[in-house]
Structure 1
Amino acid sequence: MKIGILGAGEIAHEMAKTVAGMEDCEVLAVGARELLRAEGFAKEYGIPRAYGSYGELVEDKEVELIYIATPHSHHYQHAKLALEAGRHVLCEKAFTANASQARELFALAEARGLFLGEAMWTRFLPMKAKLQQLLHDGAIGQVRSLSASIGYAISDIPRLREPALAGGALLDIGVYVLNFAAIALGEEIEKVESSCQLYGTGVDACESITLTFRGGRMAVLHANMTALSDRGGVICGSEGYIRVGDVETCAPLEVYDGERRLVARHEAPPCHSGYQYEVAAAAKAVREGRGECPEMPHAETLRILELCDRLRDAWGVRYPFE
C-alpha cells in the first residue's frame, strides 16, 4: 500500500516511523505547505517524493492512501481535497471539527467509492478487543459504571488555545475518554451532563462529563489540557472491577474479583508502534473494496462527533468557521 502523508507536523513524524516498520506498506510521498519542509521530512525518513503543496500530493496517482496529519480544524478541507482527487483517506482524530463536516465527507466518499476512516488508534489496538472480550465473558459480572481521566499540561501549545484551529481539550484529548466509555458501555446514551472551564481564548480547558446509558449504567469522565493525570480508568461490575492503566491504549488491564483481589493482569503485546494497527486495517479495507473499517465505522465516528457538538453547545464553545 503506497501512502502519502499530508502534513509534516509531530503526528506525521510518528506515522512515518510507524510505516517504515511495516512490511506491506510504504510512504511514497509527503506533502507540506513549504517544499523545503517536505524535502527535509522526506530526507529524514527516506521517502521518495516530496511536494510543496497538498494539492500536488493528492494528484500523485501512484499514491493509494492519504494519511491526513494536519490540525483537526483543517481535516474537512484536506480530506475533501484528497477524496475529490480520487484518493482513499485515513484521517487523524478528531476526524473533523463537527458532525456536519463528517457527514458531508462520508457522503462524498460513498459517492466516489472510496475508503474513508478515522485514525482513532485506541479502537484498533489488540487490547481494546481484549477488554471487550473480558466484559463480554462476564469477568466482572454486569458492568454498572466506569470512570476515566485524561490530562496533559499542553495549554502552552498555540493551536490548542486557538478557536480558529478548533482548539481545546475536548477534540484533542477528551475524545479518548469518550471513546473509552463507548468501548466499554456501547452507544445507548440516555442522558448527558457536564461542566466546563474555559480558557481565556474561549476554548474548553477542562471538563467533567457524566453519561448515563440505558439501564442506569454511568460513565464519569474528565479531560484537562492544563494539568497531568494518570490517564487511567476503572470499569466497575457486580462481581469485580477492571483497572485500565491507560485509557488511550487500554493497557495494562488488571482484573479484580469481588474481594478486591487481583486475579488477572493482561499486558499489551510488544510492537514497534501502536499506530500500525490502524494503518493495516485501512490498507486491508482498501484492498477489499470496503469504504470503512469495522473497528471504527462511519456511524461510530459520527456518534462521537455528535456528542462533542452537544457538549460544546452546552458550554458555549463555537469555532469561528462554524
Structure 2
Amino acid sequence: MNNLKFAILGCGHIATKMAAAVKTLKNQGMGVECYAVASRNLEKATAFAKEYGFEKAYGSYEALAADSAIDLIYIATPHSHHHEFAKLCIEHGRNILVEKAFTANAKLAAEVISLAHDKGVFLCEAMWTRFLPALETIRNWIRDGRIGNVETVEADFSMKLSDRDRMHDPALAGGALLDIGIYSLTFADLFLGERIDADGKVVRNEIASMDCKCVKFKTGVDASDWINLTYENGQKAYLKTSMVSPTHNEGVIYGSAGQIRVQNLNDMVKLELLDDAGNVVESVEPTRLCNCYEYEVLACKEAIENPAQFRHEICDGSIDNCSNSRDLSDFRALSNVVHSIVWERPEMTHAKTMEFMTHMDKIREQFGVRYPFED
C-alpha cells in the first residue's frame, strides 16, 4: 500500500476532528490519503469534502461502502447507529474504525465483531486515548517506581453538552456515559486493569464490584454519573462524568509515594509527577501532530499494511495465538462460521471493546437507564 485511502461515514462534529487529523497526515506525507466522505445529504458531503480536501463525496452511506478503492472507513455517526453502519461496511468487505462508544450495548457489539471475524476484515474501536504516545511516559514513571505502588485512580470528565439535542434523546442512546463517561472508565482501566500474579505474569485485574449512581434528565437518560470500582486486588477507582457540570477534565493516579496528575484525561495535554508531599517534580506537555486522532489512524494503517502481524485465526471455536480467548468465547456463539479471522490492534482489542460494552451495560442497569430499541 502506498497511501491509505481513508473515508469518513457521517459528516457531523466528530467527523470534522478526524478529517483535520487525516488532512494533517496527508500534508505531512505520512501515507494517508483524504479519499472519500459520505452523508445522507450530498450537498453536505460535498461541502465537507471541499473543506478538508477529500477527493470524493457520496450522498448515501451505501455508495461509500460499495467503493472498493477504500482502505479504511471511519464511522462517525451517533453511536445508536454504529451497529447498522458497521455491518453495512463489513458486508461490503471494508475495514472499519468505529467511533466510541462502539455500539449502544454489548449485544450489538457482539454482532458487529462476530461479523467482522467471519468476513476477515480489520476492525477497531476509535478510543484514541489508548493510542497516545503520552501513555508511555506515565507507564515509565509507574514502572520506575516514581509514585510507589499504584493504589487508587480518580477521574472526572465533565463538560456542558446539554445543549445538544442528541444527548437528551434515548432513541439515539443519549446520556453522559457512552459519550464521555467511557473516558473516565478508560483512564481507570489503563492504570488499574492489569496486575502481576503469583507467577510474576501480567494478568487481567478484574473489577470485583461496582457502585454506580446517576442523576437523570427528564427524558430518562443519565446527565451526571458517579461510578466507584473495586478491583480484585483491592485497588479502587472513583469516577465522575457529567454533561451539565462546568468543564473539569482531569485524571489522578495515586501511589504510595506520590501521584501523577493528567490534564485532559482523554488527550493528555499535560502530565505532572508529584512526590508524596504534593510537590511537582516533573512536568511534561506531550507533542502532537494535530489533535491526537492521528495516532489511531496511523495504528490502523500499520495493521492493514501488515496483516500477518495483527491477525489471528479462529478454527472450530478455538483461538490460536490469542491471549483473549476467554473473552472472545463469550460472543463466538453468535457466528455459525467455524473458521474466522480476528484482525485487530493490541491497544484496542475486540475483547477489550466487549469488556467495556459489558461494563457499561451493567452500569446502566444500576442507573436504571434503558434505550427504547433494547429488548
Q: Structure 2 length normalisation: TM-score?
A: 0.84
Q: Distance in 2 between matches of 1:270 and 1:123?
A: 15
- Corresponding residue of 1:181: 188
Once the two structures are TM-superposed, the CA of residue 136 in structure 1 deviates from its matched residue by 2.3
- Whether 2:238 is the aligned partner of 1:209: answer no
Structure 1 residues 251 and 185: CA distance shift in structure 2, 3 A: farther
Q: Secondary structure at the match of 1:260?
A: coil
- Whether 2:348 is the aligned partner of 1:296: answer yes
Q: Distance in 2 between matches of 1:134 and 1:297?
A: 25
- Corresponding residue of 1:271: 289
Deviates more, 1:275-284 or 1:130-139: 130-139
- Corresponding residue of 2:173: 166
> Unaligned 5+ residue runs, structure 1?
none
Q: Distance in 2 between matches of 1:294 and 1:124?
A: 10
- Corresponding residue of 2:370: 318
Q: Distance in 2 between matches of 1:9 and 1:270?
A: 23
Q: Structure 1 length normalisation: TM-score?
A: 0.97
Alignment of 1:73-112 (within 5 A): 73-112=80-119
Once the two structures are TM-superposed, the CA of residue 229 in structure 1 deviates from its matched residue by 3.3
Deviates more, 1:161-170 or 1:228-237: 228-237
- Corresponding residue of 2:339: none
| 1:205-257 deviation per Cα after TM superposition (whole angstroms, max 9, x unaligned) | 00100000122111000000011232112111111111111111234111111
- Corresponding residue of 2:272: 254
- Corresponding residue of 1:19: 22
Which 4+ runs in 1 deviate beyond 6 A?
none
Q: Distance in 1 between matches of 2:219 and 2:241?
A: 18
Root mean square deviation, CA, Å: 1.1
Residue 63 of structure 2 is aligned with which of 56, 60, 64?
56
How many residue pairs were aligned?
Answer: 322
Residue 155 of structure 2 is aligned with which of 148, 153, 157?
148
- Whether 2:212 is the aligned partner of 1:194: answer yes
- Whether 2:121 is the aligned partner of 1:114: answer yes
Q: Distance in 1 between matches of 2:57 and 2:262?
A: 41
Cα pair 2:7 2:37 within 8 Å, conserved: yes
| 1:116-150 deviation per Cα after TM superposition (whole angstroms, max 9, x unaligned) | 00111111011122222222222101011111111
Q: Distance in 1 between matches of 2:182 and 2:136?
A: 18
Once the two structures are TM-superposed, the CA of residue 178 in structure 1 deviates from its matched residue by 0.1
Q: Distance in 2 between matches of 1:138 and 1:288?
A: 35
Deviates more, 1:171-180 or 1:122-131: 122-131
Q: Distance in 1 between matches of 2:106 and 2:210?
A: 17
Cα pair 1:210 1:221 within 8 Å, conserved: yes
Deviates more, 1:247-256 or 1:143-152: 247-256
Identity of aligned residues (%): 46
Q: Distance in 1 between matches of 2:269 and 2:10?
A: 29
AA at the equivalent of 1:26: E
Once the two structures are TM-superposed, the CA of residue 270 in structure 1 deviates from its matched residue by 3.4
Once the two structures are TM-superposed, the CA of residue 179 in structure 1 deviates from its matched residue by 0.1
Q: Distance in 2 between matches of 1:148 and 1:72?
A: 23
> Unaligned 5+ residue runs, structure 2?
194-204, 311-342
Q: Distance in 1 between matches of 2:104 and 2:160?
A: 22
Structure 1 residues 5 and 299: CA distance shift in structure 2, 3 A: same
Deviates more, 1:33-42 or 1:88-97: 33-42
AA at the equivalent of 1:185: L
